[in-house]
């Protein structure tokens, strides 16, 4: 994985080469995680050599070499970030006036002079915040161009003069996931910079932990038990376990880089993961937090086969989205994200009554090694059959 990271940092790759290496790197991360879980299931039966390799690959207790540390990534800055995040208020106890939040967001967005903006944010009962058409929009019309300068993503985080050096340092640790750069960027802008962040008006539109409590990531055992007999119950459990594992890797990396023991709580990490789950717009194989676009709610349109797509324009300065169907002025604008309901439920906390992309989730246990400890492992990492 270190070799792949070095290739990406080289900066001399084409967009397609970068995408291929990012894909390969992600596959390695999945395999490394699978190997570690397999070994944990085997317990004492896990070969010593395998356990040693896991320790070397997934636990960054090695010293950070001098060439990995940027002078700007000083210890006092790390302490400041750690102390601020330790006191982060993810419940937003200072009550926000949503109408004011939306007004300030629309005014902020207008400052960037997007070439095409045919929607605006609005408080909508039952949806919290949504987007409405400011004029008639026809299917396939370009209705929103978002300047990349206000998009939060991996590239923006890496180039940030304040946290870029920190992320470069953390990126050398083998437990640091690619998505953690954007997560760190989000936490830094929201809770460390706060009102000083250029994204402040956008970040105020994000839901608090209280509003996120109905998402399965935060279900307690009693709520999970209600789903007994459904294969979705296993999906929820597995995802909760996965986020716990990601948190261990995130916090371990921060400790290894000198951020201290309490820099980020699990609750804060889970809130940030929830934001990435529910707000990310994908293109070029990367997650992006896209102001205005991520306020558009999900619904099936007249043609269920038409699903959302956003991509950069020819100048690569704007993220363009074309209308999936017709909308009248003043009407709420929707996008169809083309996912089955169990994906919407597990990662977003909602389902759609009308969803032609829905399917039956069937989990098939695989028993390749009867009467062995591996049997449990393969059952827990079961294959999934999704049959419309």
Arithmetic mean of pLDDT, 91-118: 94
Distance, first Cα to last Cα, the chain: 37
Model confidence pLDDT, tens digit, residues 248-292: 999 999 999 989 888 899 999 999 999 999 999 999 889 999 999
Task: Tell me what pLDDT residue 263 has.
Answer: 85
The residues of the chain that CATH labels 3.90.1410.10 are 71-353
Model confidence at 182, pLDDT cuts 50, 70, 90, reads very high
Arithmetic mean of pLDDT, 55-60: 48
Mean pLDDT of the chain, nearest integer: 85
Task: Tell me what pLDDT residue 217 has.
Answer: 96
Nearest alpha carbon to residue 377 among 29, 38, 33: 38
Task: Tell me what pLDDT residue 115 has.
Answer: 94
The answer to whether residue 358 scores a pLDDT higher than 80 is yes
CA angle 342, 346, 351 (to 5 degrees): 55
Taking the whole predicted model, whether its pTM rises above 0.75 is answered as: yes
**d(C-alpha 180, C-alpha 250), whole Å:** 7
Task: Tell me what pLDDT residue 61 has.
Answer: 38
**d(C-alpha 119, C-alpha 132), whole Å:** 5
Q: Domain 71-353: give its CATH code.
A: 3.90.1410.10
Largest CA distance in the chain: 66
| Burial annotation 288-305 (CB, 10 A radius, 16+ → b, else e) | bbbbbbbbbbbbbbeeee
Nearest alpha carbon to residue 387 among 364, 350, 362: 362
Task: Tell me what pLDDT residue 48 has.
Answer: 59
Nearest alpha carbon to residue 39 among 60, 57, 62: 57
Which residue in the block uniquely carries the two structure tokens 């390969």? 24
Name the least confident of 90-99, 230-239, 251-260, 375-384.
375-384
């Amino acid at each position: 994985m270190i070799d792949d990271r070095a290739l990406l940092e080289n900066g001399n790759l084409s967009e397609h080469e970068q995408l291929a290496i990012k894909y390969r790197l992600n596959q390695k991360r999945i395999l490394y995680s699978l190997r570690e879980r397999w070994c944990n299931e085997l317990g004492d039966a896990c070969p010593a050599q395998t356990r040693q390799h896991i320790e070397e690959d997934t636990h960054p207790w090695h010293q950070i070499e001098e060439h990995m540390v940027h002078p700007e990534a000083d210890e006092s800055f790390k302490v400041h970030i750690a102390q601020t995040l330790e006191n982060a208020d993810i419940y937003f106890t200072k009550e926000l006036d949503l109408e004011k939040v939306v007004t300030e967001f629309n005014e902020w967005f207008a400052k960037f002079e997007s070439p095409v903006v045919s929607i605006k944010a609005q408080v909508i009962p039952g949806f919290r915040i949504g987007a409405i058409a400011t004029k008639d929009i026809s299917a396939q019309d370009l209705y929103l161009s978002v300047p990349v300068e206000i998009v939060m993503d991996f590239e923006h985080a890496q180039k940030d003069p304040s946290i870029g050096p920190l992320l470069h340092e953390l990126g050398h640790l083998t437990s640091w996931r690619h998505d953690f750069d954007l997560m760190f960027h989000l936490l830094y802008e929201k809770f460390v910079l706060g009102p000083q962040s250029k994204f402040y008006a956008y970040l105020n539109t994000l839901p608090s932990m209280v509003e996120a409590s109905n998402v399965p990531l935060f279900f307690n055992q009693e709520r999970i038990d209600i789903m007994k007999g459904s294969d979705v119950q296993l999906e929820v459990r597995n995802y909760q376990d996965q986020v716990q594992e990601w948190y261990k890797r995130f916090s371990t990396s921060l400790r290894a880089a000198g951020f201290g023991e309490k820099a980020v709580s699990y609750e804060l990490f889970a809130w940030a993961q929830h934001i990435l789950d529910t707000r990310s717009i994908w293109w070029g194989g990367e997650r992006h937090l896209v102001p205005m676009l991520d306020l558009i709610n999900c619904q099936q349109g007249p043609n269920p086969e038409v699903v959302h797509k956003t991509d950069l324009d020819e100048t690569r300065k704007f993220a363009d989205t074309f209308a999936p169907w017709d909308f009248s002025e003043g009407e709420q604008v929707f996008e169809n994200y083309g996912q089955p309901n169990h994906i919407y439920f597990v990662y977003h906390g909602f389902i759609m009554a009308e969803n032609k992309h829905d399917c039956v989730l069937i989990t098939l246990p695989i028993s390749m090694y009867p009467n062995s400890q591996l049997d449990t492992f393969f059952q827990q990492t079961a294959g999934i059959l999704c049959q419309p």
